[in-house]
Amino acid sequence: MKAFLAAVVVGIIVAVGSAQLLDSRFQTTTPALYTTEGARITSPGDNLVQF
Amino acid sequence: MTRLTRLLAIAAFAALGAVGAPLMPLAPMAEAQQVNPTAESVTEDKLFQALRGDQMIEGRASIPDPKAPGLIKPGNKGWADTHTGTIRALTVWTMIGMVALLGIFYAYRGRIRIDAGPSGRTIKRFGGVERFAHWLMAVSFILLALTGLNLVLGRSVLLPMIGEGAFGALSASGKIVHNYMGWAFMLGLALAFVVWVGRNLPKAHDLTWIAMGGGLFKKGVHPPAGKFNAGQKLIFWSVVVGGAALSFTGVMLLFPVLAGTQADWQLYQLIHGIAAALLTAVILAHIYIGSIGMEGAFDAMGSGEVDLNWAREHHSLWVEEVEGKSAGSQGGGRVAPAE
Ligand code: HEM
Protein backbone atom coordinates (compact mmCIF):
# COMPACT_ATOMS: atom_id res chain seq x y z
CA MET A 1 0.00 0.00 0.00
CA LYS A 2 2.84 2.37 0.90
CA ALA A 3 4.61 1.64 -2.41
CA PHE A 4 1.33 2.21 -4.28
CA LEU A 5 0.61 5.54 -2.56
CA ALA A 6 4.21 6.67 -3.08
CA ALA A 7 3.85 5.82 -6.79
CA VAL A 8 0.61 7.85 -7.05
CA VAL A 9 2.18 10.86 -5.31
CA VAL A 10 5.41 10.69 -7.34
CA GLY A 11 3.36 10.20 -10.55
CA ILE A 12 1.46 13.42 -9.85
CA ILE A 13 4.64 15.31 -8.92
CA VAL A 14 6.42 14.16 -12.10
CA ALA A 15 3.41 15.07 -14.28
CA VAL A 16 2.93 18.53 -12.75
CA GLY A 17 6.69 19.12 -12.70
CA SER A 18 7.13 18.18 -16.35
CA ALA A 19 4.16 20.36 -17.29
CA GLN A 20 5.76 23.34 -15.52
CA LEU A 21 9.17 22.71 -17.05
CA LEU A 22 7.89 22.14 -20.58
CA ASP A 23 5.48 25.07 -20.50
CA SER A 24 8.04 27.49 -19.12
CA ARG A 25 11.08 26.44 -21.17
CA PHE A 26 10.28 24.21 -24.13
CA GLN A 27 6.73 24.73 -25.36
CA THR A 28 4.85 27.64 -26.90
CA THR A 29 1.27 27.56 -28.09
CA THR A 30 0.73 27.79 -31.85
CA PRO A 31 -1.14 31.12 -31.59
CA ALA A 32 1.75 32.62 -29.60
CA LEU A 33 4.51 31.18 -31.79
CA TYR A 34 3.12 31.99 -35.21
CA THR A 35 1.50 35.33 -34.54
CA THR A 36 3.39 38.09 -36.34
CA GLU A 37 2.80 41.79 -36.84
CA GLY A 38 0.92 40.95 -40.01
CA ALA A 39 -1.06 37.89 -38.90
CA ARG A 40 -2.71 37.25 -35.57
CA ILE A 41 -3.90 33.75 -34.69
CA THR A 42 -6.55 33.56 -32.03
CA SER A 43 -6.53 30.86 -29.38
CA PRO A 44 -9.02 28.05 -30.04
CA GLY A 45 -9.93 28.04 -26.34
CA ASP A 46 -10.12 25.06 -24.02
CA ASN A 47 -13.17 23.23 -25.24
CA LEU A 48 -12.12 21.37 -28.35
CA VAL A 49 -15.66 20.34 -29.21
CA GLN A 50 -17.54 23.59 -28.76
CA PHE A 51 -15.68 26.58 -30.08
CA MET B 1 -19.54 59.23 -98.27
CA THR B 2 -20.39 56.71 -100.90
CA ARG B 3 -22.53 53.73 -100.10
CA LEU B 4 -19.45 51.52 -100.31
CA THR B 5 -17.34 53.57 -97.95
CA ARG B 6 -20.28 53.75 -95.51
CA LEU B 7 -20.55 49.95 -95.61
CA LEU B 8 -16.80 49.57 -95.07
CA ALA B 9 -16.91 51.92 -92.12
CA ILE B 10 -19.75 49.97 -90.50
CA ALA B 11 -17.92 46.67 -91.07
CA ALA B 12 -14.70 48.07 -89.58
CA PHE B 13 -16.56 49.36 -86.55
CA ALA B 14 -18.30 46.02 -86.09
CA ALA B 15 -15.00 44.15 -86.41
CA LEU B 16 -13.40 46.43 -83.89
CA GLY B 17 -16.34 45.83 -81.59
CA ALA B 18 -16.07 42.07 -81.93
CA VAL B 19 -12.37 42.05 -81.07
CA GLY B 20 -12.63 44.81 -78.53
CA ALA B 21 -15.46 43.33 -76.48
CA PRO B 22 -13.44 40.60 -74.79
CA LEU B 23 -10.53 42.98 -74.37
CA MET B 24 -12.58 45.50 -72.49
CA PRO B 25 -12.72 43.77 -69.08
CA LEU B 26 -9.02 42.89 -69.34
CA ALA B 27 -7.91 46.45 -69.21
CA PRO B 28 -9.29 47.26 -65.74
CA MET B 29 -8.07 43.85 -64.48
CA ALA B 30 -4.47 44.52 -65.46
CA GLU B 31 -4.79 47.82 -63.72
CA ALA B 32 -6.37 46.19 -60.65
CA GLN B 33 -3.56 43.70 -60.30
CA GLN B 34 -1.32 46.50 -59.25
CA VAL B 35 -3.65 47.88 -56.66
CA ASN B 36 -5.66 44.87 -55.47
CA PRO B 37 -3.49 42.30 -53.67
CA THR B 38 -6.32 39.79 -53.25
CA ALA B 39 -7.35 39.71 -56.91
CA GLU B 40 -5.73 36.31 -57.30
CA SER B 41 -6.80 34.84 -53.97
CA VAL B 42 -8.82 31.65 -54.07
CA THR B 43 -12.55 32.04 -54.20
CA GLU B 44 -14.52 29.95 -51.73
CA ASP B 45 -16.24 28.17 -54.61
CA LYS B 46 -13.00 27.15 -56.26
CA LEU B 47 -11.61 26.01 -52.93
CA PHE B 48 -14.56 23.78 -52.14
CA GLN B 49 -14.39 22.34 -55.66
CA ALA B 50 -10.73 21.52 -55.17
CA LEU B 51 -11.26 20.09 -51.68
CA ARG B 52 -13.60 17.52 -53.15
CA GLY B 53 -10.92 16.13 -55.41
CA ASP B 54 -7.84 14.24 -54.41
CA GLN B 55 -5.31 16.76 -55.61
CA MET B 56 -2.68 18.47 -53.60
CA ILE B 57 -3.72 21.91 -52.41
CA GLU B 58 -0.93 24.18 -51.43
CA GLY B 59 -0.64 27.94 -51.29
CA ARG B 60 1.10 30.69 -49.44
CA ALA B 61 0.52 31.62 -45.81
CA SER B 62 1.60 34.78 -44.10
CA ILE B 63 2.50 33.11 -40.79
CA PRO B 64 6.08 31.90 -40.38
CA ASP B 65 5.19 28.20 -40.30
CA PRO B 66 6.58 26.47 -43.40
CA LYS B 67 4.07 23.63 -43.03
CA ALA B 68 0.96 25.78 -42.81
CA PRO B 69 0.48 26.33 -46.57
CA GLY B 70 0.04 22.60 -47.20
CA LEU B 71 -3.72 22.50 -46.83
CA ILE B 72 -4.56 19.14 -48.37
CA LYS B 73 -2.17 16.52 -49.63
CA PRO B 74 -3.39 13.27 -51.16
CA GLY B 75 -1.29 11.35 -48.61
CA ASN B 76 -3.03 13.15 -45.76
CA LYS B 77 -6.41 11.99 -46.97
CA GLY B 78 -5.26 8.39 -47.09
CA TRP B 79 -3.81 8.88 -43.65
CA ALA B 80 -7.09 10.25 -42.28
CA ASP B 81 -8.82 7.08 -43.50
CA THR B 82 -6.18 4.89 -41.85
CA HIS B 83 -6.46 6.86 -38.65
CA THR B 84 -10.21 6.89 -38.29
CA GLY B 85 -10.73 3.53 -39.98
CA THR B 86 -7.93 1.01 -39.55
CA ILE B 87 -6.54 2.19 -36.19
CA ARG B 88 -9.98 2.54 -34.67
CA ALA B 89 -11.00 -0.93 -35.87
CA LEU B 90 -7.75 -2.42 -34.61
CA THR B 91 -8.24 -0.78 -31.21
CA VAL B 92 -11.86 -1.91 -30.87
CA TRP B 93 -11.21 -5.47 -31.99
CA THR B 94 -8.09 -6.06 -29.90
CA MET B 95 -9.95 -4.84 -26.80
CA ILE B 96 -13.10 -6.84 -27.51
CA GLY B 97 -11.03 -9.85 -28.56
CA MET B 98 -8.96 -9.86 -25.38
CA VAL B 99 -11.94 -9.36 -23.06
CA ALA B 100 -13.74 -12.21 -24.87
CA LEU B 101 -10.68 -14.49 -24.60
CA LEU B 102 -10.34 -13.76 -20.90
CA GLY B 103 -14.06 -14.41 -20.43
CA ILE B 104 -13.76 -17.77 -22.20
CA PHE B 105 -10.64 -18.63 -20.18
CA TYR B 106 -12.42 -17.76 -16.92
CA ALA B 107 -15.47 -19.83 -17.90
CA TYR B 108 -13.22 -22.80 -18.73
CA ARG B 109 -10.64 -22.62 -15.95
CA GLY B 110 -12.22 -20.43 -13.25
CA ARG B 111 -9.92 -18.78 -10.73
CA ILE B 112 -6.60 -20.59 -10.60
CA ARG B 113 -6.33 -21.76 -6.99
CA ILE B 114 -3.30 -22.67 -4.90
CA ASP B 115 -3.57 -26.46 -5.43
CA ALA B 116 -2.02 -27.34 -2.08
CA GLY B 117 -4.04 -24.62 -0.34
CA PRO B 118 -2.48 -21.65 1.46
CA SER B 119 0.41 -22.75 3.69
CA GLY B 120 0.09 -19.96 6.20
CA ARG B 121 3.76 -19.09 5.68
CA THR B 122 4.88 -16.26 3.40
CA ILE B 123 7.97 -15.51 1.39
CA LYS B 124 9.22 -12.05 0.38
CA ARG B 125 8.70 -11.62 -3.36
CA PHE B 126 9.10 -7.93 -4.22
CA GLY B 127 10.81 -5.16 -2.25
CA GLY B 128 9.57 -1.57 -1.92
CA VAL B 129 11.52 -0.25 -4.92
CA GLU B 130 10.16 -2.97 -7.21
CA ARG B 131 6.57 -2.36 -6.11
CA PHE B 132 7.03 1.41 -6.38
CA ALA B 133 8.35 1.06 -9.95
CA HIS B 134 5.48 -1.29 -10.84
CA TRP B 135 2.76 0.97 -9.50
CA LEU B 136 4.26 4.13 -10.99
CA MET B 137 4.24 2.40 -14.37
CA ALA B 138 0.78 0.87 -13.80
CA VAL B 139 -1.05 3.98 -12.53
CA SER B 140 0.36 6.16 -15.30
CA PHE B 141 -0.25 3.52 -17.99
CA ILE B 142 -3.89 3.07 -16.99
CA LEU B 143 -4.47 6.85 -17.10
CA LEU B 144 -2.69 7.03 -20.47
CA ALA B 145 -4.71 4.10 -21.82
CA LEU B 146 -8.05 5.61 -20.74
CA THR B 147 -7.31 9.11 -22.02
CA GLY B 148 -5.78 7.66 -25.21
CA LEU B 149 -8.79 5.43 -25.79
CA ASN B 150 -10.96 8.54 -25.46
CA LEU B 151 -9.05 10.10 -28.36
CA VAL B 152 -9.83 7.11 -30.55
CA LEU B 153 -13.34 6.19 -29.42
CA GLY B 154 -14.60 9.10 -27.33
CA ARG B 155 -16.42 10.92 -30.12
CA SER B 156 -18.40 7.89 -31.15
CA VAL B 157 -18.94 6.28 -27.73
CA LEU B 158 -18.78 8.90 -24.98
CA LEU B 159 -19.99 12.05 -26.77
CA PRO B 160 -23.51 10.73 -27.46
CA MET B 161 -23.73 9.51 -23.85
CA ILE B 162 -22.60 12.60 -21.91
CA GLY B 163 -23.16 15.47 -24.35
CA GLU B 164 -20.92 18.11 -25.90
CA GLY B 165 -20.15 20.22 -22.84
CA ALA B 166 -19.07 17.37 -20.56
CA PHE B 167 -17.23 15.57 -23.36
CA GLY B 168 -15.39 18.74 -24.36
CA ALA B 169 -14.25 19.44 -20.79
CA LEU B 170 -13.32 15.79 -20.23
CA SER B 171 -11.36 15.48 -23.47
CA ALA B 172 -9.51 18.77 -22.98
CA SER B 173 -8.38 17.74 -19.47
CA GLY B 174 -7.76 14.19 -20.69
CA LYS B 175 -5.37 15.54 -23.30
CA ILE B 176 -3.42 17.43 -20.62
CA VAL B 177 -3.27 14.31 -18.43
CA HIS B 178 -2.13 12.25 -21.45
CA ASN B 179 0.63 14.68 -22.40
CA TYR B 180 2.15 14.95 -18.93
CA MET B 181 1.48 11.52 -17.38
CA GLY B 182 3.63 10.18 -20.21
CA TRP B 183 6.70 11.43 -18.32
CA ALA B 184 5.71 9.56 -15.14
CA PHE B 185 5.23 6.42 -17.25
CA MET B 186 8.68 6.82 -18.79
CA LEU B 187 10.22 7.11 -15.33
CA GLY B 188 8.35 4.01 -14.08
CA LEU B 189 9.30 2.09 -17.23
CA ALA B 190 12.98 2.96 -16.86
CA LEU B 191 12.96 1.97 -13.17
CA ALA B 192 11.14 -1.33 -13.84
CA PHE B 193 13.60 -2.10 -16.63
CA VAL B 194 16.58 -1.55 -14.33
CA VAL B 195 15.23 -3.61 -11.42
CA TRP B 196 13.88 -6.53 -13.49
CA VAL B 197 15.88 -6.94 -16.69
CA GLY B 198 18.39 -9.33 -15.09
CA ARG B 199 15.54 -11.68 -14.09
CA ASN B 200 13.93 -11.62 -17.53
CA LEU B 201 16.68 -13.01 -19.72
CA PRO B 202 15.59 -16.19 -21.56
CA LYS B 203 16.58 -19.55 -19.97
CA ALA B 204 16.36 -23.14 -21.23
CA HIS B 205 13.54 -24.01 -18.77
CA ASP B 206 11.38 -21.31 -20.38
CA LEU B 207 10.87 -23.68 -23.32
CA THR B 208 9.52 -26.41 -21.02
CA TRP B 209 7.20 -23.84 -19.44
CA ILE B 210 5.87 -22.81 -22.87
CA ALA B 211 5.54 -26.45 -24.05
CA MET B 212 3.39 -27.16 -20.98
CA GLY B 213 1.23 -24.06 -21.57
CA GLY B 214 2.55 -22.74 -18.28
CA GLY B 215 0.27 -25.20 -16.51
CA LEU B 216 -2.41 -22.56 -16.94
CA PHE B 217 -4.95 -24.81 -18.59
CA LYS B 218 -4.95 -27.77 -16.21
CA LYS B 219 -5.26 -28.06 -12.47
CA GLY B 220 -2.22 -29.54 -10.75
CA VAL B 221 0.24 -28.91 -13.63
CA HIS B 222 3.19 -26.72 -12.57
CA PRO B 223 6.19 -26.44 -14.87
CA PRO B 224 9.36 -25.21 -13.14
CA ALA B 225 10.02 -21.47 -13.28
CA GLY B 226 12.46 -18.95 -11.87
CA LYS B 227 11.45 -15.58 -10.36
CA PHE B 228 9.59 -14.84 -13.60
CA ASN B 229 8.11 -17.58 -15.79
CA ALA B 230 8.22 -17.46 -19.60
CA GLY B 231 4.75 -15.86 -19.77
CA GLN B 232 5.84 -13.07 -17.45
CA LYS B 233 9.05 -12.60 -19.42
CA LEU B 234 6.91 -12.12 -22.52
CA ILE B 235 4.84 -9.52 -20.66
CA PHE B 236 8.02 -7.80 -19.41
CA TRP B 237 9.52 -7.56 -22.91
CA SER B 238 6.21 -6.45 -24.43
CA VAL B 239 6.06 -3.67 -21.85
CA VAL B 240 9.70 -2.69 -22.46
CA VAL B 241 9.53 -2.73 -26.28
CA GLY B 242 5.95 -1.43 -26.53
CA GLY B 243 6.56 1.14 -23.77
CA ALA B 244 9.76 2.39 -25.44
CA ALA B 245 7.98 2.66 -28.81
CA LEU B 246 5.08 4.54 -27.19
CA SER B 247 7.47 6.83 -25.33
CA PHE B 248 9.60 7.71 -28.35
CA THR B 249 6.68 8.28 -30.72
CA GLY B 250 4.81 10.13 -27.95
CA VAL B 251 7.67 12.59 -27.48
CA MET B 252 7.82 13.09 -31.26
CA LEU B 253 4.10 13.86 -31.28
CA LEU B 254 4.58 16.33 -28.43
CA PHE B 255 7.35 18.09 -30.36
CA PRO B 256 6.34 17.90 -34.02
CA VAL B 257 9.08 20.33 -35.02
CA LEU B 258 11.68 17.78 -33.87
CA ALA B 259 9.81 14.99 -35.61
CA GLY B 260 9.99 16.38 -39.15
CA THR B 261 7.25 16.69 -41.73
CA GLN B 262 3.63 15.56 -41.96
CA ALA B 263 4.75 12.17 -43.30
CA ASP B 264 6.87 11.63 -40.16
CA TRP B 265 4.04 12.66 -37.85
CA GLN B 266 1.77 10.19 -39.59
CA LEU B 267 4.26 7.37 -39.20
CA TYR B 268 4.78 8.15 -35.50
CA GLN B 269 1.06 8.41 -34.90
CA LEU B 270 0.52 5.09 -36.66
CA ILE B 271 3.15 3.35 -34.52
CA HIS B 272 1.77 5.05 -31.38
CA GLY B 273 -1.78 3.88 -32.14
CA ILE B 274 -0.84 0.30 -33.00
CA ALA B 275 1.56 -0.12 -30.06
CA ALA B 276 -1.04 1.34 -27.68
CA ALA B 277 -3.77 -1.04 -28.86
CA LEU B 278 -1.54 -4.12 -28.68
CA LEU B 279 0.07 -3.29 -25.34
CA THR B 280 -3.28 -2.43 -23.76
CA ALA B 281 -4.59 -5.85 -24.80
CA VAL B 282 -1.52 -7.55 -23.28
CA ILE B 283 -1.96 -5.51 -20.09
CA LEU B 284 -5.65 -6.47 -19.84
CA ALA B 285 -4.53 -10.12 -19.68
CA HIS B 286 -1.81 -9.20 -17.17
CA ILE B 287 -4.24 -7.36 -14.88
CA TYR B 288 -6.65 -10.30 -15.08
CA ILE B 289 -4.06 -12.92 -14.07
CA GLY B 290 -2.55 -10.60 -11.43
CA SER B 291 -5.90 -10.04 -9.70
CA ILE B 292 -9.08 -12.13 -10.11
CA GLY B 293 -7.51 -14.78 -12.36
CA MET B 294 -5.13 -16.32 -9.83
CA GLU B 295 -5.45 -16.80 -6.11
CA GLY B 296 -2.52 -15.35 -4.18
CA ALA B 297 -0.94 -13.43 -7.09
CA PHE B 298 -1.96 -9.90 -6.11
CA ASP B 299 -0.15 -10.09 -2.75
CA ALA B 300 3.17 -10.03 -4.63
CA MET B 301 2.46 -6.42 -5.66
CA GLY B 302 0.25 -5.61 -2.66
CA SER B 303 2.22 -6.44 0.47
CA GLY B 304 5.23 -7.86 -1.36
CA GLU B 305 4.84 -11.20 0.51
CA VAL B 306 3.34 -14.28 -1.14
CA ASP B 307 2.17 -17.59 0.28
CA LEU B 308 4.92 -20.21 0.22
CA ASN B 309 2.72 -22.81 -1.49
CA TRP B 310 1.78 -20.32 -4.20
CA ALA B 311 5.47 -19.61 -4.74
CA ARG B 312 6.37 -23.34 -4.83
CA GLU B 313 3.67 -24.03 -7.41
CA HIS B 314 4.38 -21.10 -9.74
CA HIS B 315 8.06 -20.29 -9.19
CA SER B 316 9.68 -23.47 -7.88
CA LEU B 317 13.23 -22.71 -9.03
CA TRP B 318 13.09 -19.26 -7.46
CA VAL B 319 11.89 -20.69 -4.10
CA GLU B 320 14.78 -23.20 -4.14
CA GLU B 321 17.16 -20.34 -4.82
CA VAL B 322 15.78 -18.17 -1.98
CA GLU B 323 15.65 -21.09 0.49
CA GLY B 324 19.18 -22.13 -0.48
CA LYS B 325 20.42 -18.61 0.15
CA SER B 326 18.62 -18.18 3.45
CA ALA B 327 19.86 -21.62 4.61
CA GLY B 328 23.36 -20.46 3.67
CA SER B 329 22.97 -17.34 5.80
CA GLN B 330 21.65 -19.39 8.77
CA GLY B 331 17.96 -19.05 8.51
CA GLY B 332 18.16 -15.54 7.02
CA GLY B 333 14.47 -15.09 7.93
CA ARG B 334 13.22 -14.65 4.35
CA VAL B 335 10.49 -17.24 4.78
CA ALA B 336 8.21 -16.20 7.59
CA PRO B 337 5.02 -17.49 9.16
CA ALA B 338 2.00 -15.44 8.08
CA GLU B 339 0.41 -13.33 10.76
C1 HEM C 1 -4.41 -2.82 -11.68
C2 HEM C 1 -3.48 -3.15 -12.51
C3 HEM C 1 -2.38 -4.14 -12.28
C4 HEM C 1 -2.30 -5.20 -11.40
C5 HEM C 1 -3.36 -5.69 -10.43
C6 HEM C 1 -1.00 -5.81 -11.57
C7 HEM C 1 -0.52 -6.90 -10.85
C8 HEM C 1 0.76 -7.42 -10.94
C9 HEM C 1 1.28 -8.47 -10.12
C10 HEM C 1 0.51 -9.18 -9.02
C11 HEM C 1 2.55 -8.71 -10.51
C12 HEM C 1 3.52 -9.74 -9.92
C13 HEM C 1 3.36 -11.09 -10.51
C14 HEM C 1 4.21 -12.05 -9.77
O15 HEM C 1 4.27 -12.02 -8.55
O16 HEM C 1 4.83 -12.88 -10.41
C17 HEM C 1 2.86 -7.81 -11.60
C18 HEM C 1 4.05 -7.77 -12.30
C19 HEM C 1 4.30 -6.96 -13.39
N20 HEM C 1 3.46 -5.95 -13.87
FE21 HEM C 1 1.60 -5.54 -13.21
N22 HEM C 1 -0.33 -5.13 -12.56
C23 HEM C 1 -1.13 -4.11 -13.02
C24 HEM C 1 -0.84 -3.20 -14.02
C25 HEM C 1 0.33 -3.21 -14.77
C26 HEM C 1 0.61 -2.32 -15.86
C27 HEM C 1 -0.36 -1.25 -16.36
C28 HEM C 1 1.84 -2.64 -16.33
C29 HEM C 1 2.63 -2.04 -17.47
C30 HEM C 1 2.29 -1.12 -18.24
C31 HEM C 1 2.35 -3.74 -15.54
C32 HEM C 1 3.56 -4.36 -15.73
C33 HEM C 1 4.06 -5.40 -14.98
C34 HEM C 1 5.32 -6.07 -15.25
C35 HEM C 1 6.28 -5.76 -16.39
C36 HEM C 1 5.47 -7.03 -14.25
C37 HEM C 1 6.64 -8.02 -14.11
C38 HEM C 1 6.46 -9.18 -15.06
C39 HEM C 1 5.21 -9.95 -14.77
O40 HEM C 1 4.96 -10.31 -13.63
O41 HEM C 1 4.47 -10.18 -15.73
N42 HEM C 1 1.40 -4.06 -14.60
N43 HEM C 1 1.72 -7.02 -11.84
Q: How far apart are CA A42 and CA A47, in angstroms?
A: 14
Measured in Å, residue B257 CA sits from the centre of ligand 1 at 35
Position A50 in a domain? no
Task: Kindly list the domain boundaries of chain B, sorted by start residue.
Answer: 77-337
Is the Cβ of A40 closer than 8 Å to some Cβ of chain B?
no
Window from A7-21, A25-39, B163-177, B242-256 with minimum mean pLDDT:
A25-39
ipTM summary value = 0.80
Report whether residue B275 contacts ligand 1, using a CB cutoff of 6 Å: no
Query: What pLDDT sits at residue B17?
Result: 40
Inter-chain contact B180–A41, Cβ cutoff 8 Å? no
Is the Cβ of A34 closer than 8 Å to some Cβ of chain B?
yes
Query: What pLDDT sits at residue B24?
Result: 39
Question: B77-337: which CATH architecture?
Answer: Up-down Bundle (1.20)
Is the Cβ of B177 closer than 8 Å to some Cβ of chain A?
yes
Q: Which domain holds residue A21?
A: 2-33
How many helices and strands, by DSSP H and E, does chain B display? 12, 5
Position A28 in a domain? yes
Residue identifier of the C-alpha nearest atom 24 of ligand 1 = B138
Our CA angle for B215, B218, B224, nearest 5°, is 20
How many helices and strands, by DSSP H and E, does chain A display? 2, 0
Position A14 in a domain? yes
Catalogue the E-assigned strands of chain B.
Answer: 57-58, 70-72, 121-124, 305-307, 335-337
Q: What per-residue string of b and e applies to A29-51 under the rule 16 or more CB within 10 Å gives b?
A: eeeeebeeeeeebeeeeeeebee
Q: How far apart are CA B56 and CA B70, in angstroms?
A: 8
Number of domains in chain A: 1
Position A24 in a domain? yes
A33 neighbourhood in chain B, CB within 8 Å: 65
Q: Which of B62, B124, B136 to probe the A interface (max A CBs under 10 A)?
A: B136
Report whether residue B276 contacts ligand 1, using a CB cutoff of 6 Å: no
Ligand 1 atom nearest B314 alpha carbon: 16
Span between the terminal Cα atoms of chain A, in Å: 43
Distance from CA of B289 to the nearest CA of A (A): 19
Report whether residue B283 contacts ligand 1, using a CB cutoff of 6 Å: yes
Distance from CA of A30 to the nearest CA of B (A): 10
Measured in Å, residue B233 CA sits from the centre of ligand 1 at 11
| Cβ-contact B301, B126 below 8 angstroms | yes
- The count of other CB atoms within 10 Å of the CB of residue B179 is 19
Q: What per-residue string of b and e applies to B275-302 under the rule 16 or more CB within 10 Å gives b?
A: bbbbbbbbbbbbebbbeebbbbbebbbb
pLDDT in tens, chain B (339 residues): 444 444 444 444 344 344 333 333 444 444 444 556 566 666 777 777 777 766 777 778 777 777 777 777 777 778 888 888 999 999 999 999 999 999 999 999 999 999 999 999 999 999 999 999 999 999 999 999 999 999 999 999 999 999 999 999 999 999 999 999 999 999 999 999 999 999 999 999 999 999 999 999 999 999 999 999 999 999 999 999 999 999 999 999 998 888 988 889 999 999 999 999 999 999 999 999 999 999 999 999 999 999 999 999 999 999 999 998 877 665 444 566 655
| Cβ-contact B205, B245 below 8 angstroms | no
Which A positions 6-25 lie with beta carbon below 8 A of chain B? 6-8, 10-12, 14-16, 18-19, 22
Q: How far apart are CA A45 and CA A24, in angstroms?
A: 19
Whole-prediction pTM value? 0.82
- Angle between helix B128-196 and B262-290 (nearest 10): 130
